[in-house]
Amino acid sequence: MSGRPEGSATSGWLARALASNAEAVFVGEEYPLALLGENDERFLQVSAQLLRRTPSRLDRAIAALYTTPQTLAASERVRQAVQGSWQALARLQQEATGRSQNHGYPNGAIGQQLALVGRILETQPQVVYTTVGGWDTHANQRQRHQNLWSQLAESLAALQRHLQAQGRQNSVLTLVHSEFGRRPAENGSGGTDHGTAGSVLLLGPVRGGLYGGEPDLSGLVNGNLVVAVDYRQILGEVLAKWLQVPAQSVFNQPWPALGVLG
């Protein structure tokens, strides 16, 4: 998400907000535009498969190449660096698996992914960003949404328990959003098509409630819900009040805050 829908942008809203040396981590496979800098700068990336992947024969064969000490100093430094990286990943995998069991993260892909996010949050980076796929439900939406929302709800609840166990439930803000909305009417395949409006969920030290009112199904425009709250109002408030970054510097104009962060 660029945060600049009026034109084509080559950088993401969050990357523009963060300094190049900010402690930010992306947990996932396909690097998101939101964290992409103007000159293709990227932050640390950790595979979301880390807790679900077991070493393959190829992994073991490659690892064996780095078990033998090298006589050349430069080669030995490379070998030790590679081994150190693998050992660090193994520790992270083991620790995240333990957190998953201790805090009741569900066993599915989303639960394991957020367990990894929870473990990384223990190091207190400025931002952890992750992506969850499967929501483009043009067909069979009822069953797919039931599964996805159940996994997501249980995983977010586990993440909050994880944070509470550390006494950090008021120092971490969780924002959940989609990069596209959906039309309210069902299509011919038991799903819904892309639309203009969607929802955003905030967890943490927020003023709870429903902002923007109930969706008006009687006032659709070309089959789409009317947008009640611009997403930049939400992101802008998070930038200004949580990250202390002026929203105008990211979105090229100020956006009125909703007051969700007080």
What does the pLDDT profile of the chain (262 residues) look like in tens digits?
655 666 667 889 999 999 767 889 999 989 999 999 888 889 988 887 766 556 667 666 666 766 777 777 776 777 777 777 667 777 777 777 777 778 889 988 899 899 999 989 998 999 999 999 999 999 999 999 999 999 999 999 999 999 999 999 999 999 999 988 999 999 999 999 999 999 999 999 999 999 999 999 999 999 999 999 999 999 999 999 999 999 998 998 889 999 999 7
- d(CA 105, CA 117) in angstroms, rounded, equals 11
Cα–Cα distance, 13 to 4 (Å, whole number):
8
In which region does residue 25 sit, left (phi positive, over 0), alpha (psi from -120 to 50) or beta (all else)? beta
Structure tokens at 28: 């996932």
The pLDDT assigned to 1 comes to 60
Check if the beta carbon of residue 3 is closer than 8 Å to that of residue 235.
yes
Please state whether beta strands 174-177 and 127-130 pair in parallel, antiparallel, or not at all (unpaired).
unpaired
| Rounded CA separation 6/4 (Å) | 6
**Helix (H), strand (E) at residue 181:** strand 181-182
pLDDT the model gives residue 175:
97
Centre a 10 Å sphere on the Cβ of residue 136 and count the other Cβ atoms it contains.
15
Q: Return the exposure string of 196-214: e unless at least 16 CB atoms fall within 10 Å of the residue's CB, then b.
A: bbeebebbbebeeeebeee
Nearest-angstrom CA–CA distance, 121 and 103? 14
Beta strand 127-130 pairing with 181-182: unpaired
Instruction: Quote the tokens at residue 77.
Output: 């430094």
pLDDT of residue 38: 86
CB 240 within 8 A of CB 246: yes
pLDDT of residue 26: 93
How high is the pLDDT of residue 232? Answer: 93
Q: Which pLDDT value is given to residue 103?
A: 86
Specify the pLDDT at position 9: 72
Nearest C-alpha neighbor of 43 from the set 120, 108, 134, 151: 120
Q: Which two tokens stand for residue 185?
A: 């009417």
Note the pLDDT of residue 173: 97
- Give pLDDT tens digits for 42-56: 998 888 776 655 666
Q: Rounded to whole angstroms, how far apart are CA atoms 149 and 143?
A: 10
Structure tokens at 49: 């498969």
pLDDT at 206: 96
> Closest by alpha carbon to 229, among 255, 261, 195?
255
